[in-house]
């Protein structure tokens, strides 16, 4: 009989320990397989972490252990879900992120292979009937049968339904002319792209950067290149190099909207070997792609965050394009960052990691400056195309705005008109974050927020009240700004839809496309809207930051940032950095073709250094300035952070446990840590659970984390309290 140590995921709490179950059956259960077990009278899926043998009976085993031990209900997999490398990675990720191993497995595996009950109803492998030629002799066949046989013979094998009618095919089968067999049907098919005739010549700068990366003795290299400097071409050249050495490539992009174009680049250059993995595939498609990669049929995998766990073997190169983008970090257990996981995986294979960006994250930049990572640079745009001319528009000045309009300045509308007349294209960008109908002061830019959770308050027309959607806080609409006393309090309630509507009134003949989170839910719509814009079927594309990054539209000569600095008011140590990035990336979309581009930045904080330096694309100055701030305020990259999220139905208990943890940490580490809190987070109450947070800052994470991990494991999941660790949080 086998004793299985089983990890389980329970809906409410993150139980990070295993439970013993028994198995006495015909197979041998291997570690890494899923099993269904009865846990507190509920059938749930578990993951076998370890296996041992016993000669005892169930009764004897139970008595010896002091508790009733049960048999598993059923065995789901015959073979382990993960190969040994990924199994090891799982442990490493769990360890670094202080996360339950089961939560890491959930993040690593496609829906149908996840250790959760719902996966039992997940997609199965789809099959199709095929035929294969056995005997080409046409003796004794009807004309129709001869015709079908010739068709099959010409192709050796073909789909059964394409060979002929069922009657004809079965007649040929009976006469021993053909064989019928089942073959797996791929539900996801990457479009066929015409292969590139001859790859472009690299520029001198691209060659130099490629050489630096190939010759580097370090595992990780930052490729910092201004927007439009041709980073993609460097990725392709590096990939070619590693593919020719027989190694495989993992290409990560930050947003799903960037996958189609990246897949196209790779497919045009490297025939037939590209697989896609990202969250927008259907579970069935993902299942097929996942298994195709695991079978070794793909040499290049392109995808967003979770593709970092692709079961690709023999990896030689992992590329993170736009490595600074926040979506690389999962906002929920296990709170992993694809960059850190990529570095862990690369170490296993002796592979290289290339981190590409025009505005590297501060963590990456600091490591490159200290020589932990190597550094390659593309300091100019391709063909020395100039950076766009930028102009900052002060939104506080009502005189320059369109009549009765708080969104469009006259300058912006004039500039758009000029571009349309010249048959050039325009991108208009809205910042999605902090974005609904909020209330702000037109004079000082102050945004009204909830005193409990700092969320922007939302205006409700029905009762003229300001409400917090997170904690239910309500206040009356103020007469004057609580910050500066001005009476110019206004509601900003426009989404991309409103922008399009208003814009269409100013410019009746303009063809306007729209791309934002709503449209983005429909995968095909994203790709088609972008393709239509590229083909110049739209004059203007209005969107959220999903169009700010990475895209290359040569005919775009004007980019307008409608409200550049809304992000500055967010309560996060990275608010300034994100605002700078957004502006730089947005400005970088303009003037990438033959013609010089313009960028117009509408802002309520026109003299803030994130705005002025973003407009100039002056990363280095911004970095130097913001780093001083980080040092002063003790934030990354000077300090490592761990955020602890406590939740419980009992608010008092939640607070008490948080305080206890804080006290144990302070008793143990003294000056070595700074522990802030407990505070009430942004989402103060979720469902019926109260939340509290602690923030731990330290310079010695390798010392603090193991202790913290065991502390959390000892408390979490007991007495109705749940604790999640967010290691290296992005927002705080």
Report the C-alpha gap between 96 and 33 in whole angstroms: 23
Options 15, 37, 355, 450; binder of Zn ion; rule CB under 5 A: 450
Binding residues among 497-536 for ligand ADP as defined by CB under 6 A = none
441 binds, among Zn ion, ligand ADP, none (CB under 5 to 8 A by kind): Zn ion
Residue 230 or 260 having the CB closest to ligand ADP: 230
Residue 160 or 231 having the CB closest to ligand ADP: 231
Considering only the stretches 118-126, 243-251, 467-475, 694-702, report the one whose residues sit in contact with Zn ion under the rule CB under 5 A. 467-475
Options 100, 111, 225, 260; binder of ligand ADP; rule CB under 6 A: 225
Other residues' Cβ atoms within 10 Å of the Cβ of residue 114: 22
205 binds, among Zn ion, ligand ADP, none (CB under 5 to 8 A by kind): none
- Location of structure tokens 């000045």: 397
Options 14, 69, 106, 232; binder of ligand ADP; rule CB under 6 A: 232
Helix segments in 405-495, DSSP class H? 410-421
Yes or no: say if 256 and 225 are a contact pair by the CB < 8 Å rule: no
231 binds, among Zn ion, ligand ADP, none (CB under 5 to 8 A by kind): ligand ADP
Yes or no: say if 421 and 415 are a contact pair by the CB < 8 Å rule: no
Find how far residue 722's CA is from the centre of its chain: 25
Residue 202 or 627 having the CB closest to ligand ADP: 202
- By rule CB under 6 A, what count of residues binds ligand ADP? 17
Cα-Cα-Cα-Cα dihedral of 605, 606, 607, 613, to 10°? 110
Yes or no: say if 322 and 589 are a contact pair by the CB < 8 Å rule: no
Residue 227 binds to ligand ADP (criterion: CB under 6 A): yes
Considering only the stretches 47-55, 343-351, 438-446, 654-662, report the one whose residues sit in contact with Zn ion under the rule CB under 5 A. 438-446
CB of 307 to ligand ADP, least distance (A): 19
Report the C-alpha gap between 150 and 158 in whole angstroms: 12
Options 32, 100, 164, 228; binder of ligand ADP; rule CB under 6 A: 228
Residue 72 binds to Zn ion (criterion: CB under 5 A): no
Binding residues among 185-224 for ligand ADP as defined by CB under 6 A = 200-203, 206
Options 72, 110, 178, 233; binder of ligand ADP; rule CB under 6 A: 233
Options 453, 548, 600, 661; binder of Zn ion; rule CB under 5 A: 453
Task: Measure the N-to-C terminal CA separation of the chain; round to a whole number of Å.
Answer: 50
Yes or no: say if 317 and 250 are a contact pair by the CB < 8 Å rule: yes
Report the C-alpha gap between 80 and 99 in whole angstroms: 21
Considering only the stretches 51-59, 93-101, 230-238, 442-450, report the one whose residues sit in contact with ligand ADP under the rule CB under 6 A. 230-238
Report the C-alpha gap between 715 and 557 in whole angstroms: 57
DSSP string across 637-667: TTSEEEEEEEEESSHHHHHHHHHHHHHHHHH
Residue 623 or 682 having the CB closest to Zn ion: 682
453 binds, among ligand ADP, Zn ion, none (CB under 5 to 8 A by kind): Zn ion
Residue 433 or 697 having the CB closest to Zn ion: 433
Residue 224 or 612 having the CB closest to ligand ADP: 224
Considering only the stretches 124-132, 225-233, 458-466, 514-522, report the one whose residues sit in contact with ligand ADP under the rule CB under 6 A. 225-233
Considering only the stretches 229-237, 309-317, 369-377, 698-706, report the one whose residues sit in contact with ligand ADP under the rule CB under 6 A. 229-237
Residue 554 binds to ligand ADP (criterion: CB under 6 A): yes
Options 484, 522, 531, 686; binder of Zn ion; rule CB under 5 A: 484
The tally of CA atoms less than 13 A away on the side-chain side of residue 103 is 25
Going by DSSP bridges, is the β-strand pair 556-561/598-603 parallel, antiparallel, or unpaired? parallel
CB of 561 to ligand ADP, least distance (A): 17
CB of 574 to Zn ion, least distance (A): 21
Q: How far is CA 689 from CA 472, 645, 659, 686, in A?
A: 14, 12, 18, 5
Based on its alpha-carbon atoms, the radius of gyration of the chain, rounded to whole angstroms, reads 29
Strand order in the sheet with 438-441: 474-476, 465-467, 458-460, 438-441, 489-492
Binding residues among 606-625 for ligand ADP as defined by CB under 6 A = none
Residue 382 binds to ligand ADP (criterion: CB under 6 A): yes
CA–CA–CA angle 652, 654, 656 (5° rounding): 70
Q: Which residues contact 333 (CB under 8 A, 6 or more apart)?
A: 14, 99, 100, 103, 106, 107, 724
SS3 assignment for 351-386: CEEEEEECCCCHHHHHHHHCCCCEEEEECCCHHHCC
CB of 483 to Zn ion, least distance (A): 4
Find, among 367, 360, 354, the residue nearest to 227 by Cα: 360
Options 231, 292, 367, 705; binder of ligand ADP; rule CB under 6 A: 231
Options 22, 401, 407, 481; binder of Zn ion; rule CB under 5 A: 481
Options 46, 110, 230, 567; binder of ligand ADP; rule CB under 6 A: 230
Helix or strand run (H / E) with residue 669: helix 651-669
Residue 230 or 717 having the CB closest to ligand ADP: 230
- By rule CB under 5 A, what count of residues binds Zn ion? 15
484 binds, among ligand ADP, Zn ion, none (CB under 5 to 8 A by kind): Zn ion
591 binds, among Zn ion, ligand ADP, none (CB under 5 to 8 A by kind): none
The tally of CA atoms less than 13 A away on the side-chain side of residue 460 is 13
Report the C-alpha gap between 533 and 529 in whole angstroms: 6
Cα-Cα-Cα-Cα dihedral of 263, 267, 270, 271, to 10°? 140
- Summarize as ranges the residues that interact with ligand ADP (CB under 6 A): 200-203, 206, 225, 227-233, 382, 552, 554, 592
Where does this chain bind Zn ion (CB under 5 A)?
441, 443-444, 446, 450, 452-453, 468, 470-471, 473, 481, 483-484, 486
């Amino acid at each position: 009989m086998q004793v299985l140590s089983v990890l389980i995921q329970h809906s409410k709490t993150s139980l990070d320990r295993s439970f013993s179950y028994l198995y006495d059956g015909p197979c041998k259960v291997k570690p890494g397989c899923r099993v269904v077990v009865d846990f507190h009278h509920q059938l749930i899926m578990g993951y076998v972490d370890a296996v041992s043998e016993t000669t005892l009976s169930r009764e004897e085993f139970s008595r010896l252990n002091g508790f009733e031990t049960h048999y598993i209900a059923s065995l789901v997999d015959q073979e382990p879900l993960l190969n040994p490398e990924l199994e090891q990675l799982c442990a490493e990720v769990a360890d670094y992120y202080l996360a339950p191993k089961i939560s890491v497995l959930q993040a690593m595996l496609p829906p149908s292979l996840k250790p959760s009950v719902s996966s039992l109803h997940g997609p199965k492998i789809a099959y199709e009937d095929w035929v294969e030629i056995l005997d080409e002799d046409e003796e004794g066949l009807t004309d129709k049968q001869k015709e079908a046989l010739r068709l099959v013979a010409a192709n050796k094998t073909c789909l059964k339904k394409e060979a002929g009618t069922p009657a004809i095919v079965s007649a040929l089968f009976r006469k021993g002319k053909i064989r019928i067999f089942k073959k797996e049907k791929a539900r996801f098919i990457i479009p066929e792209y015409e292969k590139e005739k001859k790859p472009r010549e690299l520029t001198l700068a691209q060659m130099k950067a490629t050489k630096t990366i190939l010759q580097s003795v370090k595992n990780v290299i930052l490729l910092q290149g201004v927007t439009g400097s041709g980073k993609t071409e460097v990725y392709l050249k590096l990939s070619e190099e590693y593919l020719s050495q027989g190694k495989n490539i993992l290409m990560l992009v930050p947003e799903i909207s960037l996958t189609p174009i990246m897949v196209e680049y790779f497919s045009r250059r490297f025939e037939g070997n590209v697989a896609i993995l990202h969250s927008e595939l259907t579970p069935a498609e993902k299942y097929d792609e996942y298994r195709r990669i695991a079978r070794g049929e793909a040499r290049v995998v392109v995808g967003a965050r979770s593709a970092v766990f692709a079961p690709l073997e023999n990896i030689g190169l992992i590329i993170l394009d736009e490595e600074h983008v926040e979506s690389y970090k999962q906002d929920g257990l296990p709170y992993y960052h694809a960059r850190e996981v990529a570095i862990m995986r690369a170490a296993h294979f002796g592979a290289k990691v290339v981190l590409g960006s025009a505005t590297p994250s501060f963590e990456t930049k600091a490591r490159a400056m200290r020589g932990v990572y190597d550094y390659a640079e593309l300091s100019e745009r391709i063909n020395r195309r100039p950076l766009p001319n930028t102009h900052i528009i002060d939104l506080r000045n009502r005189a320059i705005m369109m009549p009765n309009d708080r969104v469009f300045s006259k300058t912006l509308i004039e500039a758009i008109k000029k571009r349309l007349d010249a048959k050039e294209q325009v991108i208009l960008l809205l910042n999605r974050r902090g974005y609904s109908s909020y209330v702000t002061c037109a004079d000082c830019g102050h945004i009204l927020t909830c005193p409990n959770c700092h969320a922007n308050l939302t205006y409700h027309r029905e009762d003229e009240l300001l409400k917090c959607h997170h904690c239910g806080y309500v206040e009356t609409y103020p007469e004057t700004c609580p910050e500066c006393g001005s009476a110019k309090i206004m509601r900003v309630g426009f989404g991309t839809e409103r922008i399009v509507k208003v814009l269409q009134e100013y410019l009746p003949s303009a063809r306007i496309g729209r791309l934002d989170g709503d449209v983005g839910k429909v995968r095909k719509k994203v790709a088609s809207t972008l393709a239509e814009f590229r083909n110049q079927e739209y004059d203007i594309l209005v969107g959220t930051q999903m169009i700010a990054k990475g895209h290359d539209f040569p005919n775009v000569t004007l980019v307008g940032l409608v409200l550049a600095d809304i992000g500055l008011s967010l309560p996060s140590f990275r608010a300034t950095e994100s605002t700078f990035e957004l502006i730089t990336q947005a400005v970088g979309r303009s003037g990438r073709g033959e013609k010089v581009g313009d960028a117009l930045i509408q802002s309520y904080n026109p003299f803030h250094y994130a705005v002025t330096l973003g407009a100039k694309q002056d990363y280095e100055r911004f970095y130097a300035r913001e780093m001083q701030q980080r040092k002063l305020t003790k934030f990354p990259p000077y300090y490592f952070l761990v955020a602890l999220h406590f939740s419980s139905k009992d608010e008092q208990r939640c607070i008490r446990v948080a305080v206890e943890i804080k006290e144990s940490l302070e008793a143990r580490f003294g000056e070595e840590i700074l522990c802030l809190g407990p505070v009430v987070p942004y989402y103060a109450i979720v469902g019926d659970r109260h939340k509290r947070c602690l923030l731990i800052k330290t310079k010695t994470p390798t010392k603090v984390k193991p202790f913290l991990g065991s502390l959390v494991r000892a408390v979490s999941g007991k007495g109705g309290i749940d604790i999640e660790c967010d290691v290296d949080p992005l927002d705080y």
